[in-house]
């Protein structure tokens, strides 16, 4: 059914509303990113609301209310960050209250706190500034990490850097040495995780979007002149064929590890559209911008293997320690993914978020998946997101 629709439409880019495709990891540098489009339009489709109800265990009214609250939080976050200035300690979406929460340090003046509240955010005092926590994370990035250390990220709510260690690995001598050095770098907390991260590329098994040799990955988002995807799927120059075997283009740029991003030019009768596929689970979704969803917000993923799944944003700017090497500044979610989903789209409402990098678990028992923020890719290659 999907192939028939694509053949008639001639789509060159298969965009997904939130599917993490096969992927590794990718560092998203906010400083290098273009100013994201922040136009948030239109109520969600009935199918999207149904997917949120299924995966987030919400009623229709609760899903509608949550999307509206998340849109307000997404709009308020950059204003609140500027208002907090050097006192800014991070931000997150409080799903229970339906509000953006902004952490500020204890020495923040009453005037600054009021300015933050004026943006619509709730203010909470935290132990460390975002700058201090980012500095701690950067120090960890310079340490060689053993295989038992899965990842690390700043947790603004707890005002610490969380180091994730694979189950049973804390007794390993190399892990213990890493953690000892990490504790000297700044405030950290250690968390045990049930799985180790891996990239999600797959051999050719029929069914989806694009192939490079015997590897199948998923298209992320259309940009003018091509599409973005995961860097671990292929090296620059690699040829790309579509779901029907026809030639699409070539990898024009690719980075992995350290980053996990790439872009492919489109030609030979293929063209780009600002759409992510719903795979029949939800209707195909239009992409209208790339405003960043805060921690705690809902997010959906669609990929060539597991199609459409939703969850929430768990952390931003996480360093993930894949077997091939560390990838920096990824966003972590509790959305599941499986091999073949790499490179596929993560989307929140109608706002593009990123391309699937890697994860652990599966869509039967659950797991976690990371994505490379799309604004990092656009800034790195000077690309423009194709929006409706």
183-192 confidence digits (pLDDT tens): 999 999 999 8
How much is the pTM? 0.73
Question: Is a pLDDT exceeding 90 seen at residue 205?
Answer: no
- Secondary structure E strands in 213-350: 215-217, 221-223, 226-229, 239-241, 247-255, 261-265, 275-277, 285-286, 298-303, 307-322, 325-333, 345-348
Which entry of 155, 208, 260, 284 is annotated as an active-site residue? 260
Residues 222-243, mean pLDDT to the nearest whole number: 94
Q: CATH number of the domain at 83-194, out of 1.10.357.10, 3.30.300.50, 3.30.390.50, 3.10.129.10?
A: 3.30.300.50
Lowest mean pLDDT across 13-27, 35-49, 136-150, 257-271: 13-27
119: closest CA among 96, 88, 95? 88
Nearest to 269 by CA among 2, 4, 1, 7: 7
Give yes or no for a contact between 211 and 321, defined as CB atoms under 8 angstroms apart: no
- According to CATH, what is the number of the domain 1-57+197-388? 2.40.10.10
Residue 146, pLDDT above cutoff 50: yes
* CB 14, CB 222: distance < 8 Å: no
What SS3 class is residue 31? helix
Pairing of strands 275-277, 15-16: parallel
Q: pLDDT at position 44, please?
A: 67
Average pLDDT of 172-188?
93
Annotation marks residue 268 as catalytic: no
Residue 28 has pLDDT above 90, yes or no: no
pLDDT digits (tens, 9 = 90+) for 348-360: 999 999 999 999 9
Burial of 61 (0-12, 13-18, 19+ CB in 10 A): exposed
Which pLDDT does position 2 carry in this prediction? 40
pLDDT band at 208; cut points 50, 70, 90: low
Arithmetic mean of pLDDT over the chain: 85
Q: Is 342 annotated as catalytic?
A: yes
Nearest CA to 21 out of 362, 332, 366, 356 is that of: 356
Q: Please give the structure tokens belonging to residue 327.
A: 């990838």
Which 3 state secondary structure label does DSSP give 256?
Answer: coil
**Of these residues, 91, 94, 159, 232, which one is catalytic?**
232
Extents of the domains making up the chain: 1-57+197-388, 83-194
**Each residue's pLDDT tens digit, 299-338:** 999 899 999 999 999 999 999 999 999 999 999 999 999 9
pLDDT at 19 over 50: no
Give yes or no for a contact between 201 and 214, defined as CB atoms under 8 angstroms apart: no
Q: Which residue has the tokens 């049973």?
A: 168
pLDDT of 41 > 60? The answer is no
Whether 206 has a pLDDT exceeding 70, the answer reads no
From CA 154, how far away is CA 169, in angstroms rounded? 21
200 pLDDT more than 80? no
Q: Of the candidates 110, 138, 109, 113, which has an alpha carbon nearest to the alpha carbon of residue 124?
A: 113
* Three-state SS at 123: strand
Higher pLDDT, 23 or 315: 315
User: Catalytic: 32?
Assistant: no
pLDDT tens-digit map of 269-305: 888 888 888 887 877 888 999 999 999 999 999 899 9
Task: Select the more confidently predicted residue: 151 or 5.
Answer: 151
- Of the listed 150, 151, 159, 342, which one is catalytic? 342
Backbone phi, psi, residue 92, to 5°: -160, 155
């Amino acid at each position: 059914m999907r192939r028939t629709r694509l053949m008639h439409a001639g789509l060159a880019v298969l965009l997904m509303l939130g599917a993490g495709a096969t992927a590794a990891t990718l560092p998203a540098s906010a400083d290098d990113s273009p100013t994201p489009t922040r136009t948030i339009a239109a109520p969600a489709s009935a199918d999207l609301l149904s997917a949120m109800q299924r995966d987030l265990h919400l009623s229709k009214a609760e899903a509608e209310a949550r999307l509206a609250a998340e849109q307000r939080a997404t709009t308020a976050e950059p204003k609140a960050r500027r208002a907090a200035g050097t006192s800014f300690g991070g931000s997150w979406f409080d799903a229970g209250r339906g509000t953006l929460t902004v952490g500020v340090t204890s020495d923040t003046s009453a005037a600054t706190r009021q300015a933050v509240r004026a943006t619509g955010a709730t203010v909470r005092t935290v132990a460390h500034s975002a700058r201090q926590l980012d500095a701690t994370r950067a120090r960890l990035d310079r340490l060689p990490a053993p295989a038992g250390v899965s990842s690390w990220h700043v947790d603004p709510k707890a005002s610490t850097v969380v180091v994730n260690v694979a189950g049973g690995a804390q007794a390993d001598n190399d892990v213990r040495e890493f953690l000892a050095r990490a504790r000297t770098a700044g405030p950290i907390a250690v968390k045990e995780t049930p799985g180790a991260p891996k990239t999600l590329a797959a051999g050719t098994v029929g069914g989806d979007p694009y192939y490079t040799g015997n590897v199948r990955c998923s298209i992320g988002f259309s940009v003018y002149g091509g599409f973005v995807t995961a860097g671990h799927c292929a090296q620059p120059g690699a040829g790309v064929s579509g779901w029907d075997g026809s030639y699409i283009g070539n990898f024009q740029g690719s980075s992995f590890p350290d980053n996990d991003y790439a872009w492919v030019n489109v030609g030979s009768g293929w063209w780009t559209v600002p759409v992510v596929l719903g795979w029949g689970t939800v209707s195909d979704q239009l992409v209208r911008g790339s405003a960043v969803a805060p921690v705690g917000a809902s997010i959906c993923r669609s990929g060539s293997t597991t199609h459409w799944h939703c969850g929430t944003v768990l952390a931003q700017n996480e360093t993930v320690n894949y077997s091939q090497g560390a990838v920096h500044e990824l966003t972590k979610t509790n959305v599941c993914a499986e091999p073949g989903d790499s490179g596929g789209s993560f989307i929140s409402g109608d706002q593009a978020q990123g391309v699937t990098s890697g994860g652990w678990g599966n869509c039967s028992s659950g797991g976690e998946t990371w994505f490379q923020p799309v604004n990092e890719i656009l800034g790195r290659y000077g690309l423009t997101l194709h929006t409706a």
